[in-house]
């Protein structure tokens, strides 16, 4: 077995190629969402959306089986996005309110699932996804929804960037901030629904938070944030799926695809964090950076 085949062979198999296409589409769309989430510090709102999607998926699944899953998720996602955005505008006890909304939504999902038979198996599938068994129609739906979300995000990107730095100025300049917040939240929620179908409800959050945070570690330049975030997502998807395949073929460990991708992504983030610690950006170094730089200079000397 030569190296090229060992490395890329798995991706010619349909049950690895299909998840890879899904993950590539998600890496691009969610990568852009991730940068916006990072710049706007919406991570906890993202967590709220992830949990809000869950009852919708459960209800959809209970009513119409696999086809109802996405529809139910999208309805819940849109509702959750609007509720969480409106809560976010009221300053008082903001993060406690998000925590409450997200667990209540999740509890509704749990209660519905607990009324069904075969509850544990379903719960695990919904929570951790089933990346390695995606079908052709899953690929189409993921691509269509991602495209829609992408267009929505592009439409509000300018307002969001302005507002991320100075909300009052954005309002004064005539930007419709609330409308753009709502559009962004709904777009992110739609992406969470398709990501949930791929990597599972709880791991979708990793896809939403980590690429943007990683890009922010590497650069401060706005134009570079998006390509780096997408690149990190693609790299982690490929490496994670490859690992999942190798683990189940060579070591007989049935690694779940979604968990493998997300774990790879987080490891990538932590490695970047470590490198950043060793070699901080020299220009515009803060006091903390300078301290880290001195220490690394000492190590090298």
Partner 1 sequence: MTALTLSTVVSIGFFERALIEAVLAGALAGLVGTLVVLRKRAFFTTALTHATFPGAMVAAVMGFSVVVGSAVFSVLLVALMTAIARFRGQGGQVAAGVVLTFGFALGAILQAANPSLPISVESFLVGSILTVDAADIALTAVVLAIAALVLAVRGRHIIFATVDDLGYRAAGYRAWVAEALTVALIAATVVAIMPAIGAILAIALIVGPAAAARLLVTSTTAVFALAPVIGALAGVIGVVLSRELAVSAGGAITLVVAALVVVAAGAQRLGVVRWRRDEATNLAT
Binding region for partner 1 (CB under 8 A): 38, 41, 43-44, 46-47, 51, 91-93, 95-100, 102-104, 106-108, 110-111, 113-115, 119-120, 123-124, 127-128, 200, 202-203, 205-206, 209-210, 213, 216-217, 220, 253-256, 258-260, 262-263, 266, 269, 273, 276, 286, 288-289
**In the complex, minimum distance from the CB of residue 236 to partner 1, in angstroms, rounded to a whole number:** 11
Residue 292 CB contacts under 8 Å (≥ 6 apart), including other chains: 277, 280
For 130, 190, 299, the CA distances from 126, given in Å and listed in that order, are 8, 16, 47
Closer CB to partner 1, 203 or 234, in the complex: 203
Closer CB to partner 1, 141 or 234, in the complex: 234
Tokens of 300: 């090298």
Nearest of 154, 180, 155, 186 to residue 167 by alpha carbon? 180
**In the complex, minimum distance from the CB of residue 142 to partner 1, in angstroms, rounded to a whole number:** 20
For 12, 43, 57, 59, the CA distances from 37, given in Å and listed in that order, are 34, 6, 23, 28
Closer CB to partner 1, 58 or 156, in the complex: 58
**In the complex, minimum distance from the CB of residue 41 to partner 1, in angstroms, rounded to a whole number:** 6
**In the complex, minimum distance from the CB of residue 1 to partner 1, in angstroms, rounded to a whole number:** 25
197: left (phi over 0), alpha (psi -120 to 50) or beta: alpha
Closer CB to partner 1, 54 or 141, in the complex: 54
Closer CB to partner 1, 38 or 160, in the complex: 38
Residue 146 CB contacts under 8 Å (≥ 6 apart), including other chains: 25, 26, 28, 29, 30, 191, 194
**Residue 157, helix vs strand vs coil:** helix
Q: Is the dihedral of CA 52, 55, 59, 65 positive or negative?
A: positive
CA distance 238 to 230: 12
**In the complex, minimum distance from the CB of residue 110 to partner 1, in angstroms, rounded to a whole number:** 4
**In the complex, minimum distance from the CB of residue 209 to partner 1, in angstroms, rounded to a whole number:** 4
Closer CB to partner 1, 1 or 92, in the complex: 92
To the nearest 10°, the Cα dihedral for 68, 149, 175, 222? 140
**In the complex, minimum distance from the CB of residue 173 to partner 1, in angstroms, rounded to a whole number:** 25
């Amino acid at each position: 077995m030569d190296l090229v085949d060992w490395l890329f062979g798995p991706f010619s198999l349909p049950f690895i190629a299909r998840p890879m296409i899904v993950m590539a589409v998600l890496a691009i769309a969610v990568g852009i969402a991730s940068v916006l989430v990072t710049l706007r510090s919406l991570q906890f709102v993202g967590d709220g959306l992830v949990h809000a999607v869950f009852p919708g998926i459960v209800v959809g699944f209970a009513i119409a089986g696999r086809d109802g899953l996405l529809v139910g998720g999208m309805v819940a996602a849109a509702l959750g996005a609007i509720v969480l955005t409106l809560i976010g505008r009221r300053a008082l006890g903001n993060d406690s309110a998000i925590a409450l909304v997200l667990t209540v939504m999740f509890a509704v999902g749990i209660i519905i699932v607990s009324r069904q038979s075969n509850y544990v198996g379903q719960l695990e599938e919904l929570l951790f996804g089933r990346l390695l068994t995606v079908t052709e129609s899953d690929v189409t739906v993921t691509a269509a929804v991602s495209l829609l979300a992408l267009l929505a995000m592009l439409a509000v990107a300018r307002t969001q960037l302005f507002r991320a730095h100075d909300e009052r100025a954005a309002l004064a300049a005539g930007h419709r901030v609330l409308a753009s917040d709502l559009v962004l939240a709904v777009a992110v929620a739609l992406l969470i629904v398709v990501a949930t179908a791929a990597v599972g409800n709880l791991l979708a959050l990793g896809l939403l938070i980590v690429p943007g945070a990683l890009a922010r570690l590497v650069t401060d330049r706005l134009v570079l944030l998006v390509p780096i975030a997408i690149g990190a997502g693609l790299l982690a998807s490929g490496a994670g799926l490859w690992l999942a395949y190798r683990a189940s073929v060579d070591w007989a460990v049935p690694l779940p695809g979604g968990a493998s991708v997300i774990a790879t992504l987080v490891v990538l983030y932590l490695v970047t964090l470590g490198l950043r610690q060793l070699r901080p950006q020299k220009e515009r170094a803060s006091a903390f950076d300078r301290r880290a730089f001195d220490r690394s200079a000492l190590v090298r000397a």
